[in-house]
Amino acid sequence: MKTALPEQILSYASQRSEGSPLAAKELLHLGTRVAVDQSLSRLTRRGELMRVGRGLYVRPIESRFGSYAPPAEKVVEEVARLRGETVVSHGAAAANALGLTTQVPMKVIYLTSGPSRRLKLGAQWVELKHAPRWQLANAGQPAGEAVRALAWLGPTGAPQALTALKSRLPANVLAEIAESRATLPEWLAQTVGTALVANA
């Protein structure tokens, strides 16, 4: 007896790592697009899958306290891999992580090389904002985090932040920030040059 399509989809989803999104297009070997979409909707209504975006689903994490959405960071990381995008933390989050502000971002926002869109993880919305290439450079590296933090702090906050970063970051990271000047907006290139090159 052939297994019903929703169960086939669940079986396929169970082989994925936690937080790994499931795209409807990946399931077309199991049935037609209409049948796959109907099965995904049924599984979502049953609470066995969560719809996080257009054509994207994840398995909720089950615990003795009930089911909940996987961590936003994990889902975003997996969506980026699936879509072949570069995704990095927003400047506000970077500034907070580097100790340049005590302000904790109220919204969960990431910058992406892909289109701007929103993902829904349970009750939480996660924003992916399209960003220029210079803001996505050095993804996952301290130099990239620093540049995004400086960009978010703006012309008035960046000089003071750079002074703080000079005492916190190793010389090789400061050198990477200085070397990125050619790709930065003029105001930021000038601020970085003044702090890290002229006074070196």
Where are the domains positioned within the chain?
A: 5-68, 72-198
pTM of the model: 0.84
Under CATH, which architecture does the 5-68 domain have?
A: Orthogonal Bundle (1.10)
Per-residue pLDDT tens for 117-163?
999 998 889 999 999 999 999 998 999 999 999 999 999 999 999 99
> What is the pLDDT at residue 2?
59
Q: Is pLDDT of 3 > 90?
A: no
User: How much is the average pLDDT of 39-51?
Assistant: 93
Confidence of residue 181 (pLDDT cuts 50, 70, 90): very high
Provide DSSP, 81-113: HHHT--EEE-HHHHHHHTTS--PPPSSEEEEES
Q: Give how far Cα 15 sits from Cα of 20, 56, 63, 80, Å.
A: 10, 16, 18, 19
The alpha-carbon radius of gyration of the chain (Å, integer) is 21
Least confident of 67-76, 153-162, 165-174: 67-76
**Residue entry with tokens 């050198």:** 175
Per-residue pLDDT at 170 exceeds 50: yes
